[in-house]
Amino acid sequence: MASSVKNTAKKTAPKRTANQKKRSPHVKANAANDATAPFLSSTAAEEITKIFRALDRSRDGFIPRDGLLAAFNSKGIHTDDPRVKDTLEALKRSHEAIDLESFTKLFGHDIGFLNRIAKDQFIVPRFNEFCDEMSTMFEDCREIRDGAVADYIPQLARVAPDQFGMGVCTIDGQRASFGDKDVPFCVQSTCKPINYAMALTLNGEEKVHAHVGREPSGRSFNELALNDRGLPHNPMINAGAIMSCSLIHPDLPLSDRFDHVIKTWTALSGGAAPGYNNPVYLSEKATADRNFALAYFMQEKKAFPAHTDLLQTLDFYFQSCSIETTAERMSIAAATLANAGVNPLTNERVFSSETVKHCLSLMYSCGMYDFSGEFAFTIGLPAKSGVSGALMVVVPNRMGFAIWSPRLDKLGNSVRGIEFCRKLVERYSFHNYDGLSEGEAKKDPIRSQELYRSDLTYQLIHAASLGDLAEITRLVAHGADINAADYDGRSPLHLAAAEGRELAVAYLLARGANPQAKDRWGATPVEDANRHNHSEIEQRLKKSAAA
């Protein structure tokens, strides 16, 4: 979303005159085009007029400001969402009733996103209904009083046991949170998949798995045991997590290595920097005899990369576990994994899709301590728990959840977190293999994948025709096929060339768009550019076609 929207409205809301109430939206549209069109093409101006009319329920040429804010909220789009933050801040300062001219000034740079709001093109179309059911399940789990806080780390033993927070974020950035959603907690073992993903990014699969296995251990998460190659069984247990830390920028000072981890969590969380709990770090380090034993055992077996500084690696591991976040922020990190490594709020690629595939595979088989097999069987989702009571759950291609409740079962997993997951897959077809079952009366809150992918294609073509580079970037990040075409065989590049969208054409070509694609009439993007007298675009397309 554009960050340059300036508020030009008066502080007090205007009173509508009789003439204003009678004024036709069509008249306002012409006035808006004359007054604000300098930064909009005629196509974009027409498009935003259509959106305005669709949202103008009363047909009087005005949209209530609070109604617009409510429309965003009902879709799960929060006012702190970086895609709309500046625009919605300006909207909150504007007149109580928004006419087309003000509407165009506010949203003229963000037509693609606004169009999705108006047409409800998000992956969870009935988000309010979905949230109501989430809230009911959450409150049912709140009544559970089983389990106890982790007491082997003194600082964790002091945490109030009945705190309970949850967040959910879809791959479209629709968000909701419940309970103690803003209370910070230490990530503990939920850092393990993130550190593993960082190690993969920096070193590649072959090097990482020369030092750590990828099989469930069948043993306690901190047991003094290695596999038959003398390596930790997988990155989701303590020994494997220590090994992952040894592979994250080992050549840098510890401060820089930790800074890299913090920056990664910030990117995963949509720009919100995590906190850090030094008392927990000191407490964990002071009671870490087993982790020291595991590290020296691996050193004896020569499992570490050459020249590993053992004590610094352990410090790094304890620091990673002591990072603080909230349920709301962790749900965004989980949604980034669900979205193949692309943050749904910023469209930043944090991890490659291949890295995320490996990470989710090990979360699925090894992420829940000694309950991993049972969790995979009954819940059927990749997840990672931590002894702080944190639980990160990923529904691939759909959404991510974060649940925090300090009461743990005997295996170290959040009691309420596990129960919420049970309720989730009982109600919704989220289990990895629900598609194989017949006759189960489960809901699917998700827009059908076929329809969703089709929507992505048409949204990309539409964004290309408008030259909406931000929307094009988002759609490509979400997997839209850059060479897909509509029923007339018109690709995004056809439309961008025909409408003279130079930046869009450059972006599409750089990402593999075919300049020689033919529509149903046999026309190529080159011919479209020529027909509409866009000579510079025509030359760029010819050069690309000849390359």
Question: In the numeric block, which tokens belong to residue 190?
Answer: 């939920």
CA atoms within 13 A on the CB side of 181: 16
The reply to whether 15 belongs to the active site is: no
The reply to whether 296 belongs to the active site is: no
- Annotate 152-217 with DSSP letters as a single string: SSHHHHTS-TT--EEEEEETT--EEEEESTT--EE-GGGHHHHHHHHHHHHH-HHHHTTTS--S--
In Å, how far are 301, 302, 526 from 230, measured between CA atoms? Answer: 6, 8, 60
Distance, CA of 327 to CA of 404 (rounded, Å): 6
Contacts of 233 (CB under 8 A, 6+ apart): 213, 215, 216, 217, 219, 225, 226, 227, 239, 240, 366
Question: In the numeric block, which tokens belong to residue 484?
Answer: 């897909």
Distance, CA of 467 to CA of 484 (rounded, Å): 17
The reply to whether 246 belongs to the active site is: no
Q: Are 515 and 491 in contact (CB under 8 A)?
A: no
| Chain centre to alpha carbon of residue 373 | 27
The one catalytic residue in 364, 369, 428, 507 is 369
- Annotate 463-497 with DSSP letters as a single string: HHHHT-HHHHHHHHHTT--TT---TT---HHHHHH
Question: What are the catalytic residues?
Answer: 189, 192, 317, 369, 387
